[in-house]
Structure 1
Amino acid sequence: MASKFVFIASTMLVILSSTAFAQKTASPPSLSPTPAPAPAPDYVNLTDLLSVAGPFHTFLDYLVSTKVIDTLQNQANNTEEGVTIFVPKDKAFADQKKPSLTNLTNDQLKQVLLFHALPHYYSLAEFTNLSKSSPISTMAGGQYTLNFTDDSGTVHISTGWSHTKVSSSVHSTDPVAVYQVDKVFIPEAIFGTDIPPTPAPAPAPDIAPVADGPTADDNKAKSPTSTLSGKSASFRISSWGIWSQLALAVSGGLALMFL
């Protein structure tokens, strides 16, 4: 009986030790680390930005009065694409005589303003590839496109009506890029394709010839006829002198005969 008890106890000790060993040797399940959340893009207040930069007061006034500023602000901070805005200086609006923006409806003015924005953030370095994909649609819609060309790092922009270039970078941090331009973007979708011709350059002033004596060309231009006419005149004068002397001699001889 005692030996049976010892056998049972020994068997239980072996089982318990095996279980403990198995628990020690078993590797814990691996857990993949949770990726850290991407940092939220910096919020950019376009009204504040355009107020202190520039002068862009005319463009900003148009954005606020038409509430297009809200559309651009939403594109900048509530989408993954960001926004690129081309902002004309106040002087560009002052110089814009034809076509005039004063007769536009509110909807047309909104389209003109949205014509100055792309629904994506573009750094200056990206315009090299962007120029190969022109024309590029703007936030005004499919008919409102811009053509870009990159000339050794200088970004040129054409709307059909106006041709300008990016003169400086006002702000360029994802998701907002703001670039200064020197002309207002005039869309053909509103103003048509009747683009006024570029004025011709003024003609060069006429220069009066110097009248201080004959030139070499004048001397070369003398014709043989003028030379012969000069010789004929001299010959006639000489002949007239000879005949005058003969007439005097004859008249003198006749007078002696009658004396």
Structure 2
Amino acid sequence: MEFSRIFMISCSVFLLCSSLAYGQAASPPAPAAMSPSPTPAPAPAPAYVNLTYLLSVAGPFHNFLDYLESTKVMDTFQNQANNTEQGITIFVPKDSAFKALKKPSLSNLSNDQLKSLILFHAMPKFYSLADFNDLSAKGPISTLAGGQYTLNFTDNSGTVHLNSGWSKTKVTSAVHSTDPVAIYQVDKVLLPEAIFGTDIPPMPAPAPAPAPDVSPSADAPSADSKGSASPSKSSQSTSSSHRSRNLGIWSQLVLALLGGWILFL
């Protein structure tokens, strides 16, 4: 009896251990902890290009800066430089180039013409000096002025020449050439053919010369005095001729009386 009880207990323990072992083997392993993937760092924002500062420290480009501000073209240039993928290329004349302008004069342009002329000094894309060799074979290149405001380029042994159709100039130095902004100094103001080629603005009329003083002087004889002097002279000559004639008649009468008196004696 004692053996039977021990055998039953042993069987129960064996079955219990077997079931626990089977349950552990059948249960799936716990998933491994997932480490979070690193978030990529945002790309740094491009640096803001201040064209006013760049042109102020170089040059002197005071005249060009004044025109940029007065025509509000600076806003267009800044937007093209900082808010587009193409960038901008600007050709800047020195102050001496503006002083050399005698004819035609920019003072005769309307506000719209002056704005187009300043826009004519920039292209809506960044061009390095090496790019101008390719541009010389492409013909007229559009500027920010649009329409017929185009430029022709010639690369002559590394010297870039520009032809606006009315004026010719060349790049004398690179002021700034880092994408997206290229600024090149030129030795003349670019005058577009669309403004000056067919209808040159008229020059201001010269001031009228002062009229000469034609008032008669006090010593000069007046016309009336001259006119009155002539009749007096003629009257004097007439009276003298009358006296001579009367004297001749009386002389003849006296001689006749004397002759008659002598014959009577």
Q: TM-score range by the shorter chain?
A: 0.5 to 0.7
- Residue deviations 1:59-105, cap 9 Å, x none? 11111111111111111112222111000111111112222211111
Determine whether 1:9 maps to 2:20: yes
Residue 129 of structure 1 deviates from its aligned partner by 1.8
Residue 40 of structure 1 deviates from its aligned partner by 2.7
What amino acid is aligned across from residue 2 of structure 1 in structure 2? V
Give me the CA root mean square deviation: 2.4
Contact 2:153 2:160 in 1 (8 A): yes
What amino acid is aligned across from residue 10 of structure 1 in structure 2? A
What amino acid is aligned across from residue 49 of structure 2 in structure 1? V
Decide which of 88, 94, 100 is 1:89's aligned counterpart. Answer: 94
Residue 87 of structure 1 aligns to a residue whose secondary structure is: strand
Decide which of 151, 162, 165 is 1:160's aligned counterpart. Answer: 165
Determine whether 1:80 maps to 2:85: yes
What amino acid is aligned across from residue 184 of structure 2 in structure 1? Y
1:199-214 equivalence runs, <5 A: none
Residue 73 of structure 1 aligns to a residue whose secondary structure is: helix
- The equivalent residue for 2:194 is 189
- Residue deviations 1:209-251, cap 9 Å, x none? xxxxxxxxxxxxxxxxxxxxxxxxxxxxxxxxxxxxxxxxxxx
Decide which of 147, 154, 159 is 1:142's aligned counterpart. Answer: 147
1:13-92 equivalence runs, <5 A: 13-16=24-27, 19-20=29-30, 23=31, 36-92=41-97
- Residue deviations 1:25-68, cap 9 Å, x none? xx96996x765444333322212221221121111111111111
> Quick one: structure 1 residues 189 and 174, their matched pair in 2 at CA, closer, same or farther if it must change by over 3 Å?
same
Contact 1:92 1:184 in 2 (8 A): yes
- The equivalent residue for 1:98 is 103
Identical columns (%)? 67
- For residues 19 and 34 of structure 2, what CA distance do their matches in structure 1 show? 32
Residue 154 of structure 1 deviates from its aligned partner by 1.1
- For residues 21 and 182 of structure 2, what CA distance do their matches in structure 1 show? 79
Residue 175 of structure 1 deviates from its aligned partner by 1.6
- For residues 35 and 82 of structure 1, what CA distance do their matches in structure 2 show? 27
Residue 149 of structure 2 aligns to a residue whose secondary structure is: strand
Which 5+ residue runs of structure 1 have no aligned equivalent? 196-259
- Residue deviations 1:83-130, cap 9 Å, x none? 110001111111122222111111110000000001111111221222
- Residue deviations 1:127-156, cap 9 Å, x none? 122222231100001311111111121111
Which 5+ residue runs of structure 2 have no aligned equivalent? 1-11, 201-265
What amino acid is aligned across from residue 26 of structure 2 in structure 1? I
> Quick one: structure 1 residues 29 and 139, their matched pair in 2 at CA, closer, same or farther if it must change by over 3 Å?
same
- For residues 124 and 38 of structure 1, what CA distance do their matches in structure 2 show? 28
What amino acid is aligned across from residue 9 of structure 1 in structure 2? L
- The equivalent residue for 1:123 is 128
Contact 2:165 2:197 in 1 (8 A): no
- For residues 151 and 39 of structure 1, what CA distance do their matches in structure 2 show? 39
What amino acid is aligned across from residue 125 of structure 1 in structure 2? A
- Residue deviations 1:138-185, cap 9 Å, x none? 000131111111112111111011111100011111221110001111
Contact 1:41 1:174 in 2 (8 A): no
- For residues 135 and 40 of structure 2, what CA distance do their matches in structure 1 show? 33
Residue 186 of structure 1 deviates from its aligned partner by 0.9
Contact 2:151 2:164 in 1 (8 A): yes
Number of aligned positions between the proteins: 189
